[in-house]
């Protein structure tokens, strides 16, 4: 396994082109990749370390949006004051993310490209309708996060392409994040959810609720949210729409039935308060 | 000209506990194994090997990290502090003394990680609350002490830091 550490995107694309015939992996934080190698996963011919690509390592804010470079660490996100003020659910997900050592290494780009059904940053990013920027040898494209993640560990990332940025539009919505786990830190979520809203919970003018670890990818509970906005007084009758939208499994962390019940209870509590 | 690779050597240059170390390593070697096996710095412990327990915590470029989740090659050009580099045995830090005073050590296996996490917390927040201490320690597991004495030690060391 040869190791390379390009300093610019141009250098990355040149390198990537020159070794296109080989088995190539990229590494960002490495918090998922390194233990996989240690467990005996196949080593690629080439490993390209992205951490020195300063072009994709910053968080930029303008009047309308915030663009988070894909190499931003979970700690960078937790520490960013505008994210805390305007994208509270994303801040909370970063705050609750693993432990300090992993927050210092893990990146937002890695959390997205890993495409874990339980990834804690994902429900907030879906709820804020994050737009991803991907750069490849042929140029740049934009894609909503919900179209990029295809299934557990599967994405629309093309050969030699890099996820370079995550853009969130500053709409001034309120938001919250909740996770259910055996403990608040470290434990992989039994389920997690983000709620983005405007107005009062009991009568929101905007409402988007997304949930993780209840289906192969994060689920946006759009039918439920629309029905609730139209008839907030009928919350109890509408909860069945949540059951219809999710397809959790029984696994070592919880049963499918438990996830159905807990998700509905959490949403009920959020909307009542 | 790039050639088809085979298990590959790499010339690593990294500063460990204030000294520049230059060694040839294989590219898939973990930083933890480099520190323990190549440099003999066995104060850094392996327990879970997958970033769940914090026993392998070191400080790299000023940040606490799990050395089991990092390849040695990723440390190229960086500065590492392990528990061995924190203090001399006859001149412990205030926090290390507080661990002694509060009997915060039983088997000791998690302690290098706990101490390094505590030192970084105190550097940033000289008088942390118990809640802040527990939050910071949440990536470090101890199976002996029940944590209270460790939190006591960090909390008490802060008075001396102030």
Residue B162 domain-assigned (yes or no):
no
Q: Cβ A101–B64 below 8 Å, yes or no?
A: yes
Check whether residue B102 and residue B77 sit in a common domain: no
Model pLDDT for residues B90-101, shown as the tens digit of each residue: 899 999 999 999
Q: Which two tokens stand for residue B156?
A: 């008490």
C-alpha torsion sign, points B137, B139, B141, B146:
positive
Are B14 and B81 found together in one domain? yes
Contact criterion met (CB < 8 Å) for A186 and B52: yes
Nearest by CB to B70, from A5, A34, A100: name it. Answer: A34
- What angle do helix axes B94-101 and B111-124 make, rounded to 10 degrees? 130
For residue A104, list chain B residues with Cβ-Cβ distance below 8 A. Answer: 63-65
- Between positions 160 and 189 of A, the ones with CB within 8 A of B are 183-186
Nearest to A19 among B2, B50, B76 (CB): B2
Q: How many CB pairs under 8 A join A and B?
A: 94
Query: Which pair of structure tokens corresponds to residue A110?
Result: 């890695």
Q: How much is the pLDDT for B4?
A: 39
Cα nearest neighbour of B29 on chain A: A38
Q: Please give the radius of gyration of chain A, using alpha carbons only, rounded to the nearest integer.
A: 19
Higher pLDDT, A38 or A5: A5
**A57 CB-near residues (< 8 Å, 6+ apart):** A69, A71, A72
Look at B76 and A5 and tell me if their CB atoms are within 8 Å.
yes
Averaged pLDDT of chain B: 92
Is there a single domain that holds both residue B109 and residue B81?
Answer: no
Evaluate whether residue B63 is within a structural domain: yes
Looking at the structure, tell me whether residues B16 and B71 fall in a common domain. Answer: yes
**Phi, psi at residue A58, to the nearest 5°?**
-125, 165
B-chain residues near A18 (CB < 8 A)? 2
CA distance A60 to A116: 26
Residues of B in contact with A2 (CB under 8 A): 2, 5, 8, 27
Same domain, B151 and B111: yes
Cβ <8 Å between B73 and A38: no
A19 touches B: beta carbon within 8 Å: yes
The values of phi and psi at residue A79, to 5°, are -85, -10
Residue B1 inside a domain? The answer is: no
The 3-class SS string of chain A reads CEEECCCCHHHHHHHHHHCCCCCEEEECCCCCHHHHHHCCCCCCCEEEECCCCHHHCCEEECCCEEEEECCCEHHHHHHCHHHHHHCHHHHHHHHCCCCHHHHCCCEHHHHHHHCCCCCCCHHHHHHCCCEEEEEECCEEEEEEHHHHEEECCEECCCCCCEEEEEEEECCCCEEEEEEECCCCCCCCCCEEEEEEEEEECCEEEEEEEEEECCCCCCEECHHHHHHHHHCHHHHHHHCHHHHHHCCCCCCCCCCHHHHHHHHHHHHHHHHHC
Answer yes or no: do B5 and A1 touch at CB < 8 A: yes
User: Ramachandran region of residue A40, left (φ > 0), alpha (ψ -120 to 50) or beta?
Assistant: left
Instruction: Indicate if B75 and B118 belong to the same structural domain.
Output: no
B139 → closest Cβ in A2, A38, A99: A99
Would you state the pLDDT for residue B161?
45
- The number of distinct structural domains making up chain B is 2
User: Same structural domain for residues B19 and B79?
Assistant: yes
Judge whether residue B63 has pLDDT over 80: yes
% of chain A at pLDDT higher than 70? 99
Q: How far is CA B81 from the centre of its chain?
A: 7
Q: What is the CATH number of the domain that holds B101?
A: 1.10.150.120
Q: What is the Cα–Cα distance from A107 to A29, expressed in whole angstroms?
A: 6
Nearest-CA distance B71 → chain A (Å): 7
Same domain for B70 and B102? Answer: no
Judging contacts by C-beta atoms under 8 Å, the chain B residues touching residue A53 are none
Query: What pLDDT, in 10s, does the model give residues B10-34?
Result: 999 999 999 999 999 999 999 999 9
Cβ-Cβ contacts under 8 Å for A158 (sequence gap 6 or more): A134, A136
Given B2, B27, B139, which is nearest A186 (Cβ)? Answer: B139
Contact B30 A38 (CB under 8 A): yes
pLDDT band at B159 (very low <50, low <70, confident <90, very high): low
* Domain end (from B54, B85, B116): B85
| pLDDT computed for residue A119 by the predictor | 92
Among the three residues B85, B112, B139, which one is the final residue of a domain in this structure? Answer: B85
Query: 3-state class of B65 per DSSP?
Result: strand
Same domain flag for B78 and B21: yes
CA A58 to chain centre: 18
Tell me if ipTM is over 0.95.
Answer: no
**Residue in chain A lying closest to B1 (CA):** A18
| pLDDT tens-digit series, residues A66-116 | 999 999 999 999 999 999 999 999 999 999 999 999 999 999 999 999 999
Return the higher-pLDDT residue of B87 and B38.
B38
B73 lies in the same domain as B102? no
Q: What is the pLDDT of residue A48?
A: 98
- Domain assignment of residue B102, yes or no: yes
**CB–CB of A31 and B51 under 8 A?**
yes
Domain interval for residue B100? 94-157
Give a yes or no: residue B151 inside a domain.
yes
CB B82 within 8 A of CB B35: yes
User: A105 and B69: CB-CB below 8 Å?
Assistant: yes
* Residue after which a domain boundary falls, among B21, B53, B85: B85
Q: Among A10-24, A124-138, A172-186, B63-77, where is mean pLDDT lowest?
A: A172-186
B33: contact with A, CB 8 A cutoff: no
pTM of the model: 0.95
The verdict on B26 and B70 lying in the same domain is yes
Q: Give percent of chain A with pLDDT exceeding 90.
A: 88
pLDDT at B6: 62
Confidence of residue B2 (pLDDT cuts 50, 70, 90): very low
Q: Do A30 and B69 touch (CB under 8 A)?
A: yes
B143 part of a folded domain: yes
Name chain A contacts of B76, Cβ cutoff 8 Å: 5
Q: How many CB atoms lie within 10 A of CB B9?
A: 10
> pLDDT tens for residues A9-56?
999 999 999 999 999 999 999 999 999 998 889 999 999 999 999 999
Query: B64–A51: do the CB atoms touch at under 8 Å?
Result: no
- Judging contacts by C-beta atoms under 8 Å, the chain A residues touching residue B58 are none
CATH label of the domain that carries residue B81: 3.10.20.30
Which of B64, B69, B136 is the closest to A31 by Cβ? Answer: B69
**What mean pLDDT is reported for chain A?**
95
B2 assigned to some structural domain: no
Check if B134 contacts A (Cβ < 8 Å).
no
């Amino acid at each position: 396994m040869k190791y390379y550490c390009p300093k610019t995107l141009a250098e990355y694309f040149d390198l990537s082109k020159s070794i296109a015939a080989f088995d190539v992996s990229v590494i960002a934080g490495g918090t998922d990749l390194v233990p996989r190698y240690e467990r005996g996963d196949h080593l690629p011919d080439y490993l390209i370390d992205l951490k020195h690509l300063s072009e994709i390592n910053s968080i930029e804010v303008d009047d309308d949006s915030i663009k988070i470079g894909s190499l931003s660490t979970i700690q960078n996100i937790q520490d960013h004051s505008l994210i805390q003020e305007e994208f509270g659910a994303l801040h909370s997900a970063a705050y609750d993310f693993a432990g300090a050592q992993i927050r210092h290494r893990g990146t937002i780009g890695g959390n997205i490209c890993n495409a874990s059904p339980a990834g804690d940053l994902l429900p907030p990013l879906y709820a804020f309708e994050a737009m991803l920027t991907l750069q490849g040898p042929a140029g740049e494209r934009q894609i909503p996060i919900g179209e990029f993640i295809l299934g557990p560990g599967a994405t629309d990332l093309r050969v030699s392409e890099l996820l370079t940025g995550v853009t969130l539009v500053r709409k001034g919505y309120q938001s919250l994040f909740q996770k259910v786990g055996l403990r608040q830190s470290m434990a992989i979520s039994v389920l997690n959810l983000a709620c983005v809203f405007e107005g009062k919970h009991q009568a929101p003018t905007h409402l988007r609720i997304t949930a993780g670890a209840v289906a192969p990818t994060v689920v946006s509970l759009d039918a439920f949210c629309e029905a609730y906005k139209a008839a907030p007084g009928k919350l109890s009758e509408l909860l069945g729409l949540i059951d219809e939208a999710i397809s959790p499994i029984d696994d070592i962390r919880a049963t499918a039935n438990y996830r159905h019940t807990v998700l509905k209870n959490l949403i009920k509590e959020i909307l009542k308060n | 000209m790039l050639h088809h690779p085979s298990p590959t050597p790499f010339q690593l240059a990294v500063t460990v506990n204030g000294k520049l170390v230059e060694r040839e390593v294989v590219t898939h070697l973990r930083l933890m194994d480099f520190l323990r096996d190549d440099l003999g710095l066995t104060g850094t412990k392996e327990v879970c090997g997958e970033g769940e327990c914090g026993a392998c915590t070191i400080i790299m470029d000023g940040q606490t990290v799990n050395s089991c989740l990092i390849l040695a090659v990723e440390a190229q050009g960086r500065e590492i502090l392990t528990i061995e580099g924190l203090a001399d045995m006859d001149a412990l830090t205030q926090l290390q003394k507080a661990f002694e005073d509060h009997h915060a050590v039983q088997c000791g296996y998690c302690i290098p990680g706990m101490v390094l996490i505590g030192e970084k917390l105190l550097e940033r927040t000289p008088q942390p609350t118990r809640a802040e201490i527990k939050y910071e320690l949440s990536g470090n597991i101890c199976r002996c002490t029940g944590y209270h004495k460790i939190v006591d030690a960090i909390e008490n060391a802060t008075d001396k830091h102030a």
